Chains A and B, each alone.
Chain A
């Protein structure tokens, strides 16, 4: 069964850091890009970051550039989202999603998300 499982969410204070993990199973992991998308409570979807199959090409939303980084370890079938200097507006449910193909493609299969709360 194709599955994505996010972990690492939690509650932190503004300015602190969190590392999110996306674990994958059931497909050839290093054939596909992976995206992170977040959703604030009661609001719409916001694309956060994406990475291509070998980790050599990545993209970040303007709102997180300079604070978040994305990386992957194909041997471990993991994608990481390192979030530094967190702000209240980073609060939300963070989903990882398997791309249809490479980095420049839609998000085919999604995990159930991991919640992040940034509050003083």
Chain B
């Protein structure tokens, strides 16, 4: 099973700032099959990025994904008030398709 580690656990920033979230895999993620999700309290997760760097339909271009192999990054170029949430990475290259523990982005 691939274990995903996300850092930091919590990121305290202000609107307008840049956020960089890290996701590291215990072994290489095949074909860079990695996704990023955003979840707000009481809501279902929302897909932001898939295949490491492809933005899902309707996702603002301030969200970008990068990385390959075992190291991946989600970058939010300028935080908007609605971006404060928990962010999860998930690999789907190898079954079981594991999630990371999440990074909370708060003010």
Evaluate contact between A106 and B45: CB separation under 8 angstroms.
no
Q: Could you jot down 23 A-B contacts, CB within 8 Å?
A: A35-B97, A37-B45, A37-B99, A44-B88, A44-B101, A45-B39, A45-B45, A45-B99, A45-B102, A46-B99, A47-B90, A50-B95, A59-B95, A95-B45, A104-B92, A105-B50, A106-B33, A106-B47, A106-B51, A107-B37, A107-B90, A108-B50, A110-B46
Complex interface: chain A residues within 8 A of B92 (CB): 104-106
Q: A80 to nearest B CB, angstroms?
A: 19
Contact with B along A38-66 (1 / 0, CB 8 A): 00000011110010000000011110000
In the assembled complex, the Cα of A46 lies from the Cα of B1 at a distance in Å of 13
Query: Interface residues of A: mostly helix, strand, loop or mixed?
Result: strand
Complex interface: chain B residues within 8 A of A100 (CB): 47, 50, 56
- Number of residues of chain B lying within 8 A (CB) of chain A: 24
B binding-site residues for A, Cβ under 8 Å: 1, 33, 35, 37, 39, 44-47, 50-51, 56, 88, 90, 92-93, 95-102
Complex interface: chain B residues within 8 A of A109 (CB): 47
Evaluate contact between B96 and A105: CB separation under 8 angstroms.
no
Instruction: List the count of A-B residue pairs having beta carbons below 8 Å apart.
Output: 65
Evaluate contact between B96 and A60: CB separation under 8 angstroms.
yes
Q: A92 to nearest B CB, angstroms?
A: 13
Evaluate contact between B45 and A105: CB separation under 8 angstroms.
no
Complex interface: chain B residues within 8 A of A37 (CB): 45, 99
Evaluate contact between B45 and A110: CB separation under 8 angstroms.
yes
How many A residues touch the partner, as a band?
Answer: 20 to 34
A binding-site residues for B, Cβ under 8 Å: 35, 37, 44-47, 50, 59-62, 95, 100, 104-113
| Closest chain A residue, CB of each to CB of B42 | A112
Q: B91 to nearest A CB, angstroms?
A: 10
Evaluate contact between B44 and A113: CB separation under 8 angstroms.
yes
Complex interface: chain B residues within 8 A of A45 (CB): 37, 39, 45, 88, 90, 99, 102
